[in-house]
Amino acid sequence: QVGEVYLVGAGPGDPELLTFKALRLMQQADVVLYDRLVSDEVLELCRRDADLIYVGKKRDQHAVPQQDINQLLIEHARAGRRVVRLKGGDPFIFGRGGEELEQLKAAGIPFQVVPGITAASACSTYGGIPLTHRNYAQSVKFVTGQLKNRTSDLNFAELVQPNQTIVFYMGLHTLEMLVTGLLEQGKPQDTPIAIVAQGTSPQQRVLTGTLADIVQKQAQAQLPAPAIIIVGEVVALQPQLAWFGESALDAETQRTED
């Protein structure tokens, strides 16, 4: 009898931000294939006797090629096992979940999908930056900052429209290109921008600035990946709404000094 594959979003890393359904399926799984962005704390919640298989990718350096991951999922399911495919964040937002399911479908393997808290939600709530706000942004767009062909991949003319928030995933190493692209298309120099690094973890750090100064600020601060970048007027609310970790302390200090 063929097994089943559960494509599960593991959220941002804090195990308290897992859903109940994610945990239930993790505890049923015989085999768990997991990515680099799945935290150790989350992995520890898998069944003690489950096989944990790391298939994580690093940028420009695939630990396990995608087609081999697909093949592993199919083989384990065909062997009758319950397989959890565990991905950081949400599997359908920059998670390549669709690609993996297409292969499972073609192979006749049944599957279910569990949404997870995507990085944009996690980092904005823990960073104190609403993604939409009646006065500042009536829409929000998630874009990958991982550029294959430098900036030619992105339609910056479309990204500079006002009254929207832009969230770049995986854009820390291309920050300068992203900022240059926005400025060249006429986005104002004083547009607020934030980097939220290691969001929701005790190591979370938030760096805020403007398109004019964020590259220099990050060169000094050296916030590490994983990080998301938030661009738009909503970022100006951050000093007021920060409540978690170091950024809240910074904001408190600023207010005391004012």
Mutual angle of helices 66-78 and 97-106, in 10-degree steps:
50
The residues in 92-121 that bind a second copy, with binding defined as CB under 8 A, are: 92-99, 101-102, 105, 110-118, 121
Which of 126, 113, 119, 138 shows the shortest CA–CA distance to 25?
Answer: 113
Which of 6, 230, 204 shows the shortest CA–CA distance to 116?
Answer: 6
Distance of closest approach, residue 16 Cβ to a second copy, in angstroms: 4
Of 32 and 101, which CB lies nearer to a second copy in the complex structure?
A: 101
What are the distances in angstroms from CA 105 to CA 6, 92, 110, 112, 152? 13, 16, 7, 11, 33
Which of 225, 5, 203 shows the shortest CA–CA distance to 100?
Answer: 5
Of 201 and 213, which CB lies nearer to a second copy in the complex structure?
A: 201
Measured CA to CA, the distance from residue 59 to residue 209 in angstroms comes to 26
Distance of closest approach, residue 136 Cβ to a second copy, in angstroms: 8
Distance of closest approach, residue 231 Cβ to a second copy, in angstroms: 13
The reply to whether 89 sits in an annotated binding site is yes
What are the distances in angstroms from CA 235 to CA 10, 74, 124, 238? 26, 44, 9, 5
The reply to whether 56 sits in an annotated binding site is no
Q: Give the three-state DSSP class for 11.
A: strand
Of 121 and 218, which CB lies nearer to a second copy in the complex structure?
A: 121
Q: Which of 56, 57, 142, 210 binds a second copy (CB under 8 A)?
A: 142
Measured CA to CA, the distance from residue 106 to residue 19 in angstroms comes to 29
Q: Which of 3, 83, 88, 126 binds a second copy (CB under 8 A)?
A: 126
Site string for a second copy, 143-182 (x = CB under 8 A): xx--------x-x--x--x--x------------------
Q: Which of 3, 70, 77, 90 binds a second copy (CB under 8 A)?
A: 90
CA angle 34, 91, 128 (to 5 degrees): 105
Residues annotated within a binding site for S-adenosyl-L-methionine: 12, 88-90, 93, 118-119, 170, 199
Q: Which residues form the interface with a second copy (CB under 8 A)?
A: 9, 11, 14-21, 23-24, 90-99, 101-102, 105, 110-118, 121-122, 124-126, 128-134, 138-144, 153, 155, 158, 161, 164, 234, 237, 240-241, 243-244
